[in-house]
Structure 1
Amino acid sequence: SPIPRNGFKRVPQKTEPRKPDQETGSKPYKSSLSPPIQETVFYTSSPSLKRLVKPFFFTIGFTGCAFGSAAIWQYEYLKSRVQNYFDEARADWMDKLRPQKNGDFRKQVNKWWNSLSEGQRTVTGIIAANVFVFCLWRIPCMQRTMITYFTSNPASRVLCSPMLLSTFSHFSLFHMAANMYVLWSFSSSIVSLLGREQFMAVYLSAGVISTFVSYVSKVTTGRFGPSLGASGAIMTILAAVCTKMPEAKLAIILLPMFTFTAGNALKAIIAMDTAGLVLGWKFFDHAAHLGGAVFGIWYVTYGHELIWKNREPLVKAWHEMRNGPKL
């Protein structure tokens, strides 16, 4: 049976024996909770560990590019910060000279945007991307493309791009809403801890890394099936915050009277996902959750020092390339 990362088990279908790498052509099923699987690649034997080679190098390469791009982004932002400060000051002065309109929609939007924390403004784009992909699932002619590129499965023809795209993909509205609520709740803490640029590198890398761990689990256990959802990346954010602030008080949204420490919450989540992985539970992609949690704990403990604080050579090389050779 497949193990969708969206937390809902797909109803198994009866299929005729097929030749290796041949599409089943079975009739798609409909479900309000999981994507309608229209095609699945079957093998006469379980995919070997060789199918993990390309995803492994993709994970390493993508993670390096994510952190490198974040370092350059931060450099460019700091470089333009002074100029932006004067531009904004001049714009504010000009606004005071213009007549103000009551009930101006743009003014209200700007007021709302400025009321958000830096972390909330940072994750707004991520949430918008998830909503956009969720809407694409509702377009019938997009179903084949969505299944191919927005669900991850080591038994699929396409292996690498879904490792990233599936982390922005939700078929269930409840699943997307729950994930985005958790991301929004922890956004201020994680961006305050890491900064905007470093957070984006960690989040995107976490999505790919957690998917790779899911691939490894599926190949070694023989439990194949499509996965989708941002849970692996969000587990990295949750684990990073809980590791850095273990005494912070958390509560469940529907049970605000019951509070617990962040450290205990992290231990409980890891214990549940470990049990699910060992016992073969099929409600969540427990391997992806564990991969994301372990990466979050490792990054705030060691990764920040090993990766982010050693970005100076890259930034220096970018600076020299951007400004040209000295005369």
Structure 2
Amino acid sequence: MFAWIGLLNGCRNFSNAVRVGNRFTREEFRHRLQKQNLKDSQNKTDKTFEFKTKDEIPVRPVKDLYKCLGFTLGTSALAFTTAIVVDLERSKRNIRNYLFSSNREKPSKPFFQKIGLTNNTVIALIGMNIGVFALWKVPALKTFMWRYFTNSFASKSLCVPMLTSVFSHSSAIHLALNMYVATTFVGIVVEKFLGHEQFWSFFVAGGVFSSLTSLAHKAVTRNPIRALGASGAIIATLAYTCMRIPDAKLSIVFVPGFEFSAQSALWGMIAFDLAGLIFRFRMFDHAAHLGGALFGIFYSTIGQDYIWIYYGELIEKQWTKISP
């Protein structure tokens, strides 16, 4: 009997000890976990977001999109007007050189003239993007770059980054991929369709318009995320090319033997970005991509006639009145 009582008491004491031990272990573990989470949160705030919080504000009201629209129209008008005037002056200079220097020994051309305007354009585009990428690597400029070279509807700077973010990449892979696509299509567009000046105005306007569509999507969804990169402007260039050469054959890098028409590629790209918006994919800025594609389609169908030709004629008349 005493043996059973002693065994029972021993079992109860062991059970109580286990309960006490379990309670102590859980409480201690919970306490340590909370302490570690608090420490991680503080470290994250101190190290990762210390330069972001200086610029980050609550998502702006939707009515601020009027400012973005005004900046888009103003920047595009300025870009095309400047391009038209520069193109006129270049044409005048070429005519004068032809008339007055045809019988003289022509001076040697500078290096960048020898390699041609097409290559100049590609080199300038890549150089600008690499230059901005280098600025991202300067620790002292982090706050500045975050404010003025990322496109967000929750930033103190709203309009200027709509343009500057088009030339901004903080990732080497992102930069390399965009520049690879740019070198594939920019040369064709400059040489066959737009020329040097018109391309730059098109690229700037397409980039700013893609930033506008990105901000519009962020305003509606109340999304504070930031975006950057030349993807919107490059997709505008790609869409323009696909519309002008719809039967051209394209392929995917590292997938040999798989070809498709340029027009099919364009519609497939638009469908993918629409799906990205509907299902809220977060890998790409699908709204910016759609904006770039729509701008490229618009400019290839009616935009080039109305902007570069009809508007260009108005600018030419006014410019000839004031220029010597």
Task: Settle same-fold status: TM greater than 0.5.
Answer: yes
User: Separation in 2 of the partners of 1:229 and 1:58?
Assistant: 19
Measured at CA, do residues 89 and 270 of structure 1 come closer, stay the same or move farther in structure 2, by a change above 3 Å? farther
TM superposition shift of 1:118: 3.7
1:1-327 correspondence runs (5 A): 26-29=45-48, 37=52, 39-43=54-58, 46-84=59-97, 86=101, 89-92=105-108, 110=111, 114=114, 118-191=117-190, 192-310=192-310, 311-323=312-324
Q: TM-score, normalised by structure 2?
A: 0.80
Listed one character per residue, the Cα deviations across residues 154-177 of structure 1 (whole Å, up to 9, x for unaligned) are 111111110000000001111101
TM superposition shift of 1:255: 2.2
TM superposition shift of 1:127: 1.0
Q: What is aligned with 1:102?
A: none
User: Separation in 2 of the partners of 1:199 and 1:155?
Assistant: 31
User: Separation in 2 of the partners of 1:57 and 1:185?
Assistant: 32
CA contact (8 A) 1:26 1:38 kept: no
Cα RMSD after superposing both structures? 2.5
Q: SS at 1:156's partner residue?
A: coil
CA contact (8 A) 2:150 2:228 kept: yes
Aligned residues: 279
Q: SS at 1:151's partner residue?
A: coil
CA contact (8 A) 2:153 2:223 kept: no
Per mean C-alpha deviation after superposition, the further-off stretch among 248-257 and 143-152 is 248-257
Q: SS at 1:293's partner residue?
A: helix
TM superposition shift of 1:187: 1.6
State the identity as a percent.
Answer: 38
Q: SS at 1:195's partner residue?
A: helix
State the AA in 1 paired with 2:107. A
CA contact (8 A) 2:167 2:229 kept: yes
Larger Rg: 2
User: Separation in 1 of the partners of 2:237 and 2:88?
Assistant: 24
> Higher relative contact order at CA 8 Å, sep ≥6: structure 1 or structure 2?
1
User: Separation in 2 of the partners of 1:40 and 1:135?
Assistant: 21
State the AA in 1 paired with 2:322. M
User: Separation in 1 of the partners of 2:97 and 2:223?
Assistant: 53
Listed one character per residue, the Cα deviations across residues 228-268 of structure 1 (whole Å, up to 9, x for unaligned) are 00000001000000011111011122223222111111111
Listed one character per residue, the Cα deviations across residues 81-119 of structure 1 (whole Å, up to 9, x for unaligned) are 134453994224xx9xxxxxxxxxx9xxx4x974x5643
Q: TM-score, normalised by structure 1?
A: 0.79
Measured at CA, do residues 255 and 203 of structure 1 come closer, stay the same or move farther in structure 2, by a change above 3 Å? same
User: Separation in 1 of the partners of 2:54 and 2:268?
Assistant: 37
Measured at CA, do residues 262 and 318 of structure 1 come closer, stay the same or move farther in structure 2, by a change above 3 Å? same
Q: SS at 1:26's partner residue?
A: helix
Which protein is richer in helix relative to its size?
2
Per mean C-alpha deviation after superposition, the further-off stretch among 309-318 and 61-70 is 309-318
In the alignment, structure 2 segments of 5+ residues that lack a partner are 1-39
